[in-house]
Amino acid sequence: MTHKPIHDVIIVGAGASGLMCAINAGHRGLRVLVLEKGPKAGLKILVSGGGRCNFTNVFADPRKQFLSQNPHFCISAMSRYQPADFVEMVEASGIDYHEKKLGQLFCDHSAKDIVAMLLDRCAAAGVDVRLRQEVTAVTPADDGGFRVVTARQTYVAAKVVIASGGLSLPKIATDLAFRTANRLGLNVVSPRAALVPLTWNSSDREKYQALSGISVDAVTACNGVSFRESILFTHRGLSGPAILQISSYWREGDTVIIDLLPDTDAAEWLGTEREAKPRQRIVSMLKTRLPNRLVETMAGDWFQDVKIGSCSPRQLAQLGARLNAWQFRPGGSEGYRTAEVTLGGIDTNEVSSKTFEVKKVPGLYAIGEALDVTGWLGGYNFQWAWASGWCCAQHLDPIPPGRE
């Protein structure tokens, strides 16, 4: 059954970018319908940041923390809608929050506060949010506008915003954005899982899987980029913020270099200890700087557990080099099941950076993670979602009466 257009704009996806766009389009007088596949709006917001939603980052800089084949694309929107704008909204809603580290802002209480804020504002703006409505296709209609197809019915509207996100969290994700883009002849930058744990290759699995639960402050580096944060050993491989961050730059076959003793020239330190305490065993010495279980696993493989005085300077230099630059060659990544984001997406060259309208398909818009813009871990992805949703809404002009 096809319905007559009673909405000016249909937004596909009640996630971060879709709800932000809906609120602002509603305030501008548009009749907005949001179609959401899931049983709740903002599902990804609810699970984000360990349930506390790292909703923005005060240091968000479009030139620094964002990956895209077209790195300039996000600058315009992120300059027009900044972290302070979202913080203002959070404060106006009386939501308590705190900075955890590195400019990352989290709710004090729960991510539910952010979803409630967005839904309250949708209601105030007269937005119609419909749940359990999976959109299976968006197609241009013969007489202008678009047909938006769900299992229940086909909707029509003059404008459609694709805000259906990427492929992470497979329980709620669909590839609608990429399928629609392909069908309309738009380029899609190959999607891949990012901000994702990296898995052991088979020989490392045997050595290190028993270390599950150990966390180490480290620097990870790959393809010219590095991050200083913690790494976490798991049964499947390495996780933790420094690994998730570097995963966005890692490609199959690449080695990730891990400095397990950042700020220390390990070879120099070992040499000094050799002079000062030659009778000390290497295991005891390393345990002063690294977790016991990790050192015990390294013994016999990375070094022989002997007194440091019995090691040659060359042996210590080799061990030092390995501690400062462990060559971790992942077997793969955990994929979309545990990835926080999707790298790639609709090619931003297909979209206006000002309005988010698809250049070849007037009336169609794409925002948020569906586009080839991906932030680092730390609140940057939500900031992109808010900024793109807000900016898009500013350009969704109400349809003049009589032209509906």
Ligand X SMILES: Cc1cc2nc3c(=O)[nH]c(=O)nc-3n(C[C@H](O)[C@H](O)[C@H](O)COP(=O)(O)OP(=O)(O)OC[C@H]3O[C@@H](n4cnc5c(N)ncnc54)[C@H](O)[C@@H]3O)c2cc1C
Q: Please, which residue, 259 or 340, has the CB nearer to ligand X?
A: 340
Measured distance CA(383)–CA(11) in Å, rounded: 19
Give the residue with the Cβ less far from ligand X, 169 or 267: 169
User: Based on CB atoms, which residue is closest to ligand X, 324 or 342?
Assistant: 342
Q: What is the smallest separation between the CB atom of 176 and ligand X, expressed in angstroms?
A: 4
Q: How far is the CB of 389 from ligand X (least distance, A)?
A: 7
CB of 190 to ligand X, least distance (A): 18
Q: How far is CA 185 from CA 69, 265, 356, 360, in A?
A: 18, 53, 17, 9
Helix (H, G, I), strand (E, B) or coil at 229: strand
Contact between 278 and 316 (Cβ < 8 Å): no
Please count the other Cβ atoms lying within 10 Å of the Cβ belonging to residue 222: 22
- Closer by beta carbon to ligand X, 40 or else 307: 40
Give the CA distances from residue 153 to residues 3, 136, 243, 398, in Å, rounded to whole numbers and listed in that order.
8, 11, 44, 24
Q: Any bridge partners for residue 239, and if so which?
A: 232
Please identify, using beta-carbon distances, which residue of 40 and 277 lies nearer to ligand X.
40
Residue 50 is classified by DSSP as G
Q: Which is nearer to ligand X, 84 or 276 (CB)?
A: 84
Nearer to ligand X by Cβ, of 49 and 197: the residue is 49
Q: And the tokens for 361?
A: 């398909």
**CB of residue 57 vs ligand X: minimum separation in angstroms?**
8
Least distance CB 249 / ligand X (angstroms) = 17
Q: Which is nearer to ligand X, 23 or 267 (CB)?
A: 23
Tokens 């302070």, residue located: 84
Please, what is the minimum distance in Å from the beta carbon of residue 166 to ligand X?
A: 7
| Alpha-carbon distance values, 297 to 181, 230, 292, 303, 315 (Å) | 49, 19, 9, 10, 18
We find the least distance from the C-beta atom of residue 28 to ligand X, in angstroms, to be: 19
Collapsing DSSP states into helix, strand and coil, what is residue 104? strand
Q: Which is nearer to ligand X, 324 or 333 (CB)?
A: 333
Residue type at 325? A
Contact between residue 361 and residue 183 where contact means Cβ atoms under 8 Å apart:
no
Q: Which of 184, 197, 183 is nearest to 239 (CA)?
A: 197
Strand, coil or helix: what is 197? coil
Residues 6+ apart with CB under 8 A from 259: 218, 219, 220, 221, 323, 324, 325, 326
Tell me how far apart the terminal alpha carbons of the chain are, to the nearest angstrom: 19
Residue nearest to ligand X (CB): 15
Q: In angstroms, give the least distance from the CB of 284 to ligand X.
A: 40
Query: Using an 8 Å Cβ cutoff, are 365 and 161 in contact?
Result: yes
Smallest gap from Cβ 149 to ligand X, in A, equals 10
Q: Which positions touch ligand X (CB under 6 A)?
A: 12-18, 35-38, 43-44, 47-49, 53-54, 134-135, 163-165, 168-169, 172-174, 176, 340-341, 368-370, 379-382, 385
Is 218 within 8 Å of 259 (Cβ atoms)? yes
